[in-house]
């Protein structure tokens, strides 16, 4: 069997966004792949026809973010003409949309909008709405010195910041930038519904009205305090249904003319970490009542993977029923709440499902696998083959090895065997810790883990307390970071060693990103059982994190029940940096210089602390990458990241005859 290499993901395709046409005769979806130069990705549109034939609609790599029209054609945004590309390079504000028939043929330039438009959403009269990015710092087009101002805008000598957060992961600097709701048409008209004193977050429509969440903008942009608003396209009037801060809103969908289905949290038990519950909202009065006789908590979520690059519906109103993908442990379940408020489980997906759609009784799914990439299915028929590149390659299928912790709680966990495994032979092992902390691992395909298994390591991982999939009580480590989660992680490590005698306990490595990076930092300051570590996009110091990152001001109190100015000692006590002087484990730190979720100062602090205490360490800073480096970063950088990790662990965990 061939090894799965660091570059292998470059040969595979990433399926996403399955959506039926309004008449149900076609299913559109996207396939994304790595560009030949490994410096980016390209995505194209595909359509499954009613006769079962699949055709590729686009070939330019720009077929992304599509929407079906009422006439069963597809609209998508692209820059295909040289003149448009030149205008975009000069930072002109406009968007171009192309239209193509699901029967194929050339895509036709349909219209241009004078805004930086987001995804289009169709309305019943054939017009549409979008949420556009508006930069209030953009020069006045009517100014006499517009060209000079534009030049300064595109290459500023400095930035004057007046808002916090002033940057956001994946978006860069966001000071002065707003998400504005626009009504648009094919004639190129774009009418703002909201102003630049307001930020829009979530939208949905019943065809004539638009429900949206958002907040009036102050100097502090804290997204959790959004209100809910109703815009009537006929009257042009906007009504406030729920004031900002009335309840923490996740999303809302029209239920009928007078009511909406609202998913929101009262935050009365688990604070900001409390899951949303389904309610019925009276759109006229703003009154909220329970949906059904017992609380319905959708508990929507997906298992972690590094081969997910497609969108699609994870919840949707279908008739009077609300369908959603629930995370149940480490499996996904398609459920629906009927008009009476009763929840029904419709289908279990053992390895996970990312998206679904339905039309006329036909169902489409983007399903995860333990042995390969996501695949698009219609009902039970697979219509994509994104995993062909894995034929004749070793794929380590995770073995489920749960254990019961000291408090009698079952913890889900898995072990993956190394390539060419020989029973009785000793192998090094790597312990992967997920981010979040409220996310979850499953037994689905994970390229990074497969790569390490192909490099001759046992790989093991689990979902400790704090993880998603088992309810709020299980996920509750509010104010308890580094305690019960750490205990579960160490206990699972003991469990794995006890049931897997072929793992060499003297050659263990640990690694993780985000919260997993935080926990890796914590581990090296509290135990020497691991002989090498790799901490990625981590948190080292909750005090610096609170004041330098895009979510720090809200996430810190949400996780620790306090802030720096309320109790600096409490935050320092749960900061791995406090214990860095106790570390002896050789540790590789990986960070991105545009990671504004966990800014690079976190990795720098840990690296410097270990250096000062003579612990072998290395810091890799990836230029122009974000918190998403491992999942959607530039392919050549993703390869370099994996190679750095491989070399680091090989140096400290492998015997000379095992390197090859």
Phi-psi category of residue 456: left, alpha or beta, with phi > 0 → left and psi -120 to 50 → alpha: left
Instruction: Determine the average pLDDT of the residues in 318-343.
Output: 96
pLDDT over 70 percentage in the chain? 99
**pTM assigned to the model:** 0.97
How far is it, in rounded angstroms, from Cα 403 to Cα 352?
22
Instruction: Determine the average pLDDT of the residues in 327-342.
Output: 96
Q: Is-cis flag, bond preceding 27, omega within 30?
A: no
Give me the DSSP letters along 319-355: TTEEEEEEEETTEEEEEEE-TTS-EEEEEEETT-EEE
- Would you give the distance in Å from CA 615 to the centre of its chain? 34
Q: What angle do CA 274, 280, 286 make, to 5 degrees?
A: 95
Q: Which two tokens stand for residue 315?
A: 């919840």
Q: Which two tokens stand for residue 555?
A: 């996430």
pLDDT above 70 (res 224):
no
pLDDT above 70 (res 222):
no
So what's the pLDDT on residue 341? 93
Name the band, by pLDDT with cuts 50, 70 and 90, for residue 219.
confident
Phi-psi category of residue 419: left, alpha or beta, with phi > 0 → left and psi -120 to 50 → alpha: beta
So what's the pLDDT on residue 22? 97
Name the band, by pLDDT with cuts 50, 70 and 90, for residue 225.
confident
How far is it, in rounded angstroms, from Cα 653 to Cα 532?
7
Would you say 603 and 590 are in contact if contact means Cβ atoms under 8 Å apart?
yes
The SS3 assignment for 514 reads coil
Instruction: Determine the average pLDDT of the residues in 618-631.
Output: 99
Strands (E), 393-547: 399-400, 403-404, 410-411, 413-416, 427-433, 458-462, 503-513, 532-536
Instruction: Determine the average pLDDT of the residues in 17-22.
Output: 98
How far is it, in rounded angstroms, from Cα 6 to Cα 454?
10
How far is it, in rounded angstroms, from Cα 22 to Cα 70?
7
Kindly give the pairing relationship between strand 375-378 and strand 381-382: antiparallel
Residue 326 CB neighbour total at 10 angstroms: 19
So what's the pLDDT on residue 595? 98
Would you say 560 and 481 are in contact if contact means Cβ atoms under 8 Å apart?
yes
For 94, residues 6+ apart whose C-beta sits below 8 A from its C-beta are 84, 87, 88, 112, 113, 114, 115, 116
Per residue in 239-289, pLDDT (tens digit) is: 999 999 999 999 999 999 999 999 999 999 999 899 999 999 999 999 999
For 422, residues 6+ apart whose C-beta sits below 8 A from its C-beta are none
Q: Is-cis flag, bond preceding 187, omega within 30?
A: no
Give me the DSSP letters along 92-157: ---EEEEEE-TT----EEEEEESSB----EE-TTS-EEEEEEEETTSPPTTSTTHHHHHHHHHS-S
Instruction: Determine the average pLDDT of the residues in 342-348.
Output: 96
Domain boundaries, the chain: 247-297, 394-658
Residue 191, H or E segment: strand 190-192
- Would you give the distance in Å from CA 596 to the centre of its chain? 15
pLDDT above 90 (res 109):
yes
Would you say 184 and 129 are in contact if contact means Cβ atoms under 8 Å apart?
yes
So what's the pLDDT on residue 299? 87
pLDDT above 90 (res 379):
yes
Instruction: Determine the average pLDDT of the residues in 410-435.
Output: 99
Name the band, by pLDDT with cuts 50, 70 and 90, for residue 295.
confident
Per residue in 495-546, pLDDT (tens digit) is: 999 999 999 999 999 999 999 999 999 999 999 999 999 999 999 999 999 9
For 164, residues 6+ apart whose C-beta sits below 8 A from its C-beta are 219, 220, 221, 553
pLDDT above 80 (res 660):
no
In CATH terms, the fold of domain 394-658 is Rossmann fold (3.40.50)
Taking the CA of residue 211 as centre, how many other CA atoms within 13 Å lie in the half-sphere pointing to its CB? 25
So what's the pLDDT on residue 274? 94
- Angle (deg, nearest 10), helices 484-499 and 515-524: 80
pLDDT above 70 (res 223):
no
**Sheet containing 343-349, strands listed edge to edge, beginning at the edge strand earlier in sequence:** 315-318, 321-328, 331-337, 343-349
Helices and strands of the chain, counted as H and E runs: 12, 40
Q: Average pLDDT over the chain, rounded to whole? A: 97
Handedness of CA 327, 333, 336, 342 (dihedral sign): negative
Radius of gyration of the chain (CA): 25
pLDDT above 90 (res 57):
yes
How far is it, in rounded angstroms, from Cα 268 to Cα 143?
52
């Amino acid at each position: 069997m061939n090894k799965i290499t660091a570059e292998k993901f470059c040969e595979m395709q990433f399926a996403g966004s399955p959506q039926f046409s309004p008449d149900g005769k076609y299913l559109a979806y996207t396939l994304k792949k790595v560009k030949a130069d490994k410096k980016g990705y390209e995505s194209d549109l595909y359509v499954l026809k009613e006769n079962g034939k699949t055709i590729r609609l686009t070939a330019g790599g720009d077929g992304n973010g599509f929407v079906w029209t009422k006439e069963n054609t597809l609209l998508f945004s692209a820059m295909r003409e040289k003149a448009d590309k030149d205008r975009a390079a000069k930072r002109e504000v406009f968007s171009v949309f192309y239209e193509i028939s699901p029967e194929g043929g050339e895509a036709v330039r349909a219209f241009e909008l004078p805004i930086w438009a987001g995804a289009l959403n169709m309305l019943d009269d054939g017009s549409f709405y979008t949420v556009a990015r508006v930069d209030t710092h953009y020069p006045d087009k009517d100014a006499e010195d517009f060209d000079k101002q534009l030049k300064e805008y595109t290459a500023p000598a400095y930035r004057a910041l007046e808002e916090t957060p002033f940057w956001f992961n994946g978006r860069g600097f966001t000071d002065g930038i707003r998400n504005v709701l626009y009504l648009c048409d094919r004639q190129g008209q774009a009418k703002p519904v909201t102003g630049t004193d307001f930020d829009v977050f979530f939208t949905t429509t019943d065809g004539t009205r638009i429900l949206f969440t958002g907040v009036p903008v102050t100097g502090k942009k804290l997204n959790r305090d959004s209100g809910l608003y109703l815009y009537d396209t006929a009257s042009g009037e906007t009504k406030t249904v729920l004031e900002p801060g009335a309840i923490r809103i996740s999303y809302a969908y029209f239920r009928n003319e007078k009511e909406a289905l609202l998913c929101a949290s009262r935050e009365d038990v688990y604070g900001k970490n409390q899951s949303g519950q389904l309610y019925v909202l009276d759109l006229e009065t703003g009154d909220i009542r329970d949906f059904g006789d017992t609380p319905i908590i959708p508990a929507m979520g997906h298992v972690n993977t590094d081969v997910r690059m497609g969108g699609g519906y994870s919840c949707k109103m279908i008739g009077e029923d609300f369908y959603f993908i629930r995370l149940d442990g480490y499996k996904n379940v398609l459920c629906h709440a009927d008009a009476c408020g009763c929840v029904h489980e419709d289908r279990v997906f053992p390895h996970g499902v990312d998206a679904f759609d339905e039309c006329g009784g036909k169902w489409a799914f983007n399903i995860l696998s333990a042995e390969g990439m996501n695949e698009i299915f219609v009902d039970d028929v697979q219509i994509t083959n994104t995993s062909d590149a894995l034929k004749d390659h070793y794929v380590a299928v995770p073995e489920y090895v749960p254990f019961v912790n000291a408090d009698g709680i079952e913890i889900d966990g898995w072990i993956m065997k190394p390539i060419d495994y020989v029973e009785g032979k000793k192998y090094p092992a790597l312990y992967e810790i997920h981010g979040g902390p409220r996310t979850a691992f499953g037994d689905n395909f994970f390229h990074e883990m497969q790569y390490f298994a192909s490099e001759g390591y046992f790989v093991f991982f689990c979902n400790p307390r704090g993880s998603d999939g088992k309810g709020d009580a299980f996920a509750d480590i509010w104010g308890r970071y580094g305690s019960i989660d750490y205990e579960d992680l160490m206990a699972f490590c003991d469990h794995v060693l006890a049931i897997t005698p072929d793992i060499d306990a003297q050659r263990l490595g640990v690694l993780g990103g985000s919260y997993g990076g935080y926990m890796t930092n914590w581990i090296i300051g509290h135990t020497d059982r691991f002989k090498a570590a790799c901490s990625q996009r981590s948190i080292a110091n909750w005090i610096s994190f609170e004041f330098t990152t895009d979510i720090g001001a809200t996430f810190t109190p949400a996780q620790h029940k306090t802030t720096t100015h309320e109790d600096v000692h409490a935050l320092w006590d749960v900061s791995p940096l406090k214990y860095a002087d106790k570390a002896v484990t050789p540790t590789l730190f990986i960070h991105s210089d545009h990671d504004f979720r966990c800014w690079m100062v976190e990795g720098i602090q840990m690296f410097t602390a270990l250096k000062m205490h003579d612990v072998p360490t290395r810091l890799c800073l990836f230029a122009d990458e974000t918190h998403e480096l491992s999942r959607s970063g530039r392919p050549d950088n993703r390869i370099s990241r994996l190679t750095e990790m491989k070399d680091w662990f090989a140096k400290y965990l492998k015997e000379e005859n095992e390197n090859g």
